[in-house]
A and B are shown apart, each in its own frame.
Chain A
Amino acid sequence: MGSFSTRDSNAPNPGTFPSTHWSAVLSAGSGDTPAAHNALGRICEKYWYPLYVYVRRRGYRHSEAQDLTQDFFAFLLQKESLRVAAPEKGRFRSFLLTSLSHFLSNEWDRQNAAKRGGGRVIPLSQLEDADARFQLEPAQSCSADRAFEKIWAMTLLENSLRRMEEDWKKHDKSRLFEALKPFLMAGAEPPSYEELASRLGMNVGAVKMAIFRLRRSFRDVLCQEIAQTVDDPTTVEEEIRHFIRILSSPENTPQTP
């Protein structure tokens, strides 16, 4: 039903919000149009690692989790899983988590997905590395759901930073990016603008301007990334607040004996 979905996503958005992948998938209704399929595939590729972590946290070994994550995506892309009407459809993140938890608890679906095989979504090499990455995750006292949310937020930040890094690299500003990156954090300011400016060979005003621009573009990129995973652009800020809560919640601090 692409003709209607494109009409939706071409509708003028408020300037700061890009058209969203997830809403394109949703408005296609059944996820089986090529456009919806591609859009879904693209966001899945970006966010497979939080799902892998969730599976691991549910007690599966690396090899099992590898297969299950892969199968889950195959299931998601092949089965008309988007038809399952649910309020959590508004957020791709919640939709994925709910679907995955159903998937894991449903032997029938799992076997079916396994049988269907084929359709690998995540590059195998990345999945191979997943275990090494998982081992580096701090021991957490929180639930698998919470771990998923946290890793999701981290993935989101990483994806945003990666986009920016590539962008600044294109303009030969990798060094500047590296130097200014820490000031993306809330309330972070260099101990001395003068010192930083002289180190970078710039004047103080230009450094301030660069930090300002970096922050603005980080905010935009992050909003765009989030907007791809929600159906309603006005909820982006709500999402950011949610992630702040997730990342600052005390359950995330490593347990000290």
Chain B
Amino acid sequence: MSTASSKPCEKCGQPIAAGKLMEGLCPACLIGGALQQSAMQVECPHCRQTNEITDETASRVSCRNCGESFRLDLAEAVQILDRPLKKWGRFELQRILGAGAFGTVWEALDPSLHRRVAIKIPRKGHFDKVEDEERFLREAQIAAQLRHPGIVPVYETSKFDGQPFIVSEFVEGITLARWLKEHRPDFRQTAAWMASIADILAHAHAQQVIHRDLKPSNILLENKPSGGGLHPRLMDFGMAKRDGSDPTLTLDGHMLGTPVYMSPEQIRSSHLVDARADIYSMGVVLYELLTGELPFQGVPHMVIHQILHDDARSPRELNDRIPIDLATIALKCLEKDPCNRYPSAAELGEDLRRWLAGDPILARPAGPLGKTVRWLRRNPLISLLAALLALAVAGGFTAVLWQWQRAETGLREAEAQRQKAEKNFREARDTVDAFYSKVEQRLRNVPGLQPLRRELLEKALHYHRNFIREKPTDPEMRRALAVSLRRTGDIMREMGNRREALPFYQQAQKILDDILKQNPKRVETRANVAQTQIQMGDLLEELGQPAKAIDCYRQAETILQDISKNGNNPRWLTALGGCHTATGLAQGEMGRQDEALVHFKQAIQLHEQVLAIQPQDPETQYLLGCAENNQGLTLWQMGRFAEAADSHQSAIRRFQSAGADETHAIESAIELAIAHYNLGSARLAQQRTTEAAAEFETARQLLVKQAATNPSLFRCREYLAKTLGQLGNMELAKQHPGKALGCYRESCRLREALANQLPTVPIWKDLALIQMNQGVAASVVNPVEAIPYYKKAETTLSMILKDYPSHFESIELLGLLNLNHSEALWQIGQKEESIRYLKKCIGQKTVLSLQKPNDRKLINDLEQMKQLLARRTGSPHSRK
């Protein structure tokens, strides 16, 4: 069959197919033919008037001229027309002008007005929500109000077959994107076009319309019949997809379009942009026209990172013939901070025209100092400390030790040398320490910087190991050794070698104990002991030994309390607060909610004390938010929902405040979302569903945004899955099973991915839960559809229970699942199976009631189920 003979096609030169069916046919011409002919003209046998036939299945037609009816096979076929006749509403679609992530643009004929139009039809499924679609149409209507010769006018917006579409003027010309494939404009042409575009934008901005998606494919170059070359015109005003999430990324972090032309603020928060976002995009287009390259290139995630953090190379580095002024104008548009760009499109246009007229422009290039300052402002800790660390590790350490040893063996006059050595050593060590305590934590959540973080961690580890190998005897150096041992433990832990980390902590502890014996009053040493205990506690907690962890925390607490009792040193107060939060978490882990609450309260009090000393300190705000979040969760577990809600509300304010500081932005954003989720859960428990829904929605939007920019953040995706689950529950409660199912499905997809990545019991249990919920939602519409979901949930749960046969929550869930399963089976008439599942459920609830004999609800449920069973099997069971 699909084979080719050696003879090429006469028309197109492609090989001609062989085989029975395709014998002698050229596949390329065959498929090309499918795009062409669709109409035919016939001559009426009565009046000789030509009629166009579009319905080839009709056997008789009536002449449009004389009205006589005639048989088609007897009519004189005049001509087969090469014209497709695909209809879209009243429009005849004629050819595709372009297709992209958004959808398709067609050239079409509007037969009612006899004019050519362009129709933009979004891809089916482009809009996640009805509101998005409505906004799309609304914005197109607003854009339709714009009247400017440089703006391609929108004629109408409408819907066909449930899909919205936009009809605009058909412009004879090509997009700048297409033009650029074969041409390069000269500098004057570039400036002239950009000045025209700036004027068009200025007009739109004056009407409060922001383009949001300015790029070469949205700039049409019109070839006006009057001549005068190509004139740029803009299309697609305000049509960029826009919701809480990143406009270019899907949940998985897949790119839908290109972020290249997008401003940093648009990437961060697409709904909070103003006209200056368009100026940024102008800068990218100008840069591209000048250099033939884009300011930032690479895979979308890399581009996003660069847009947010890097300065574009000067256009003149790529081509030194580019006029300095035009390069300066482009770079001014590309400033990260909107305040440093042109304040308006009009001013940008004026500067471009100044250049065209040979006048000096107003924009000033940023010097090297300005650039460094800008970079440092964006990455203050990272840049400074990473540089220092590299220095300290590379040269400092060896030199320091050498100086040290010389000082040791030297004479009294070497005292000065010794002091110098000590100072140098301390500097090196402080740098490494500062790196660990500050930079490393910042880096942890920064997308794209993980390799750098790992590299720095390894360097720090190398430093500490070298030091440990020296086995110093001097007390001061022994203390430093203990710190190094502890840091080594920290880094081991951070790199996932938890069990190997423990001996390092223990060695550190032993050395510190020795030093402490010699000088029990020294604050630094005691603080070190406390710190080591806290780290060891964290490690034990991670290793699933909360009781041992609490012992460590308690020792640390005692020491820190003692140190901080005479004064208000924020450092000790913060450490003590952290210690209480950790204790609270471990207590909660062991089911002691009352104890946990006491510790969270103390932590909050301590952090508030620090905040009184250092108002607005983002770190403290963040720690306070964490403590309050934990407190809220504990209150929720205890059924004190109103207090829980208060606590989460306060946490939300803390994270908002902490997130305003760039160094805490990412971690605060995720914790903020989680606080909203927690608040939603509390509101739900209070039965304030509207408020709950609003909180979940906020959490969802925040998380989608975070998950999009940094899909590797596990915690973020975990909470996104939870939030979607809750949103599904709320839709189900509102009797919207379809919407509920949508939420559940998305949540399920995320949970499956999470379960693959980290197969832990809670995550698997959550997966089973969402699988079951899908069944519940499906059963509202049709119980038959629910069964596969229930089966799936059953499989997931049985996998957990195989390894953890007494996992309480899984048994609890299995009971519920079996009940639901039984109900669905009953509804579809599979009575025997239904009763079998009901019996299973009763069995599971009985097991649970033995474990929790005081759980009234459980006992009640059990009793009701037994009654149900009795009713359904018809056997007598006394009603109480």
Interface residues of A, Cβ cutoff 8 Å to B: 1-4, 11-16, 29, 32-33, 49, 83, 85-87, 133, 136-138, 151, 153-155, 157-158, 161-162, 165, 181-182, 184-188, 204-209, 211-213, 215-219, 222-223, 231-235, 237-238, 240-241, 243-244, 247-248, 252-254
Residues A158 and B80 in contact, CB atoms below 8 Å apart: no
Contact in complex: B785, A237 (CB < 8 Å): no
Contact of B781 among A3, A13, A215 (CB under 8 A): A3
Is B745 touching A29 in the complex (CB atoms < 8 A)? yes
Report the bound CA distance from A43 to B3 in whole Å. Answer: 22
- Prevailing SS type, chain A contact patch: helix
Q: Does B381 contact A (CB under 8 A)?
A: no
Q: Which residue of A lies closest to B88 (CB)?
A: A14
Given A234-B121, A238-B99, also A83-B752 (CB < 8 A)? yes
Whether A182 lies near B25 (C-beta < 8 A) is yes
Indicate if the CB atoms of B35 and A240 lie closer than 8 Å. yes
Given contacts A136-B3, A248-B12, contact A158 B21 (CB under 8 A): yes
Distance of A39 from chain B, by nearest CB (Å): 16
Please tell me the number of chain B residues within 8 Å of chain A, measured between CB atoms: 73
> Shortest distance in angstroms between B148's beta carbon and chain A's nearest beta carbon?
30
Check if B273 is an interface residue, CB within 8 A of chain A: no
Contact B56 A252 (CB under 8 A): no
Chain B residue, CB-CB nearest to A216: B56
Beta-carbon contacts under 8 Å, B24-41 to A: 24-38, 40
**What A residues does B353 contact at CB under 8 A?**
none
Contact B28 A205 (CB under 8 A): no
Query: B residues bordering A, Cβ < 8 Å?
Result: 1-4, 6, 8, 11-15, 17-18, 21-22, 24-38, 40, 42, 53, 56, 72-77, 80, 86-88, 96, 99, 103-104, 121, 123-125, 160-163, 250, 252, 254, 256, 738, 741, 745, 749, 752, 774, 778, 781-782, 784-785, 788-789
Given contacts A29-B745, A136-B18, contact A215 B33 (CB under 8 A): yes
Tell me whether A241 and B29 are in contact (CB under 8 A). Answer: no
Q: Are B37 and A212 in contact (CB under 8 A)?
A: yes
Q: How far is the CA of A55 from the CA of B445 in the complex (A)?
A: 42
Q: List 10 A-B contacts (CB under 8 A).
A: A87-B254, A136-B18, A155-B2, A188-B29, A205-B76, A207-B77, A208-B40, A209-B42, A219-B37, A248-B28
How far is B738's CA from A161's CA once the two chains are assembled, in angstroms? 40
Docked-complex contact B27 and A157, CB < 8 angstroms: yes
Q: Which A residues are CB-close (under 8 A) to B254?
A: 86-87
- The answer to whether A208 and B77 touch (CB under 8 A), given A2-B785, A29-B745, A244-B32, is yes
B745 / chain A contacts, CB cutoff of 8 Å: 29
B72 near A137 with CB under 8 A, answer no
Asked if residues A4 and B738 are in contact (CB atoms below 8 Å), the reply is: yes
Q: In the complex, what's the smallest C-beta–C-beta distance from A134 to chain B, in angstroms?
A: 9
In-complex Cβ contact of A253 among B8, B56, B74, B788 (8 A): B8
* Nearest-Cβ distance from residue A249 to partner chain B, whole angstroms: 9
Q: Which 4 A-B pairs have the closest CB atoms?
A: A208-B77, A154-B2, A185-B29, A186-B32
Of A182, A247, A254, which contacts B31 at CB under 8 A? A247
CB distance A137 to B3 under 8 Å? yes
Contacts beyond the supplied A33-B788, A138-B4: 10 A-B pairs with Cβ under 8 Å: A83-B749, A158-B22, A205-B42, A212-B80, A215-B37, A219-B34, A231-B124, A244-B31, A247-B28, A248-B12
B33, A158: Cβ atoms under 8 Å? no
Query: What's the minimum C-beta distance from A213 to chain B, rounded to whole angstroms?
Result: 4
Given A3-B778, A186-B36, A232–B124 Cβ distance below 8 Å? yes
B25 touches A181 (CB 8 A): yes
A241 with B25: in contact, given A3-B781, A212-B37, A235-B123 (CB under 8 Å)? no
Contact A222 B2 (CB under 8 A): no
| B-chain residues with CB within 8 Å of residue A151 when the two chains form the complex | 2
Q: Report A-chain residues with C-beta under 8 Å of the C-beta of B6.
A: 254
Least distance between B679 CB and chain A CB atoms (Å) = 30
The reply to whether B14 and A253 form a contact with Cβ atoms under 8 Å apart is yes
Separation in Å of the A14 CB from the closest CB of chain B?
5
Does the CB pair B30–A157 fall under 8 Å?
Answer: yes
Q: By the criterion CB–CB under 8 Å, are A216 and B103 in contact?
A: no
Residues of B with C-beta under 8 A to A154: 1-2, 17, 22, 27
Note all chain A residues with C-beta closer than 8 A to B30. 157, 184-186
Closest partner residue, chain A, to B86 (CB atom): A16
Choose from A133, A153, A240 the contact partner of B3 (Cβ within 8 Å): A133
Q: Are B123 and A234 in contact (CB under 8 A)?
A: yes
- Note all chain B residues with C-beta closer than 8 A to A181: 25
Nearest to B32 among chain A residues (CB) is A186
A50 to chain B, nearest CB (A): 9
Q: Is the CB of B34 within 8 A of A240?
A: yes
A222 partner, pick from B1, B21, B34, beta carbons under 8 A: B34
User: With A and B bound together, what is the CA distance between A155 and B160 in angstroms?
Assistant: 33
A85 touches B96 (CB 8 A): no
Contact B21 A165 (CB under 8 A): yes
User: Does A241 lie within 8 Å of B80, measured CB to CB?
Assistant: no
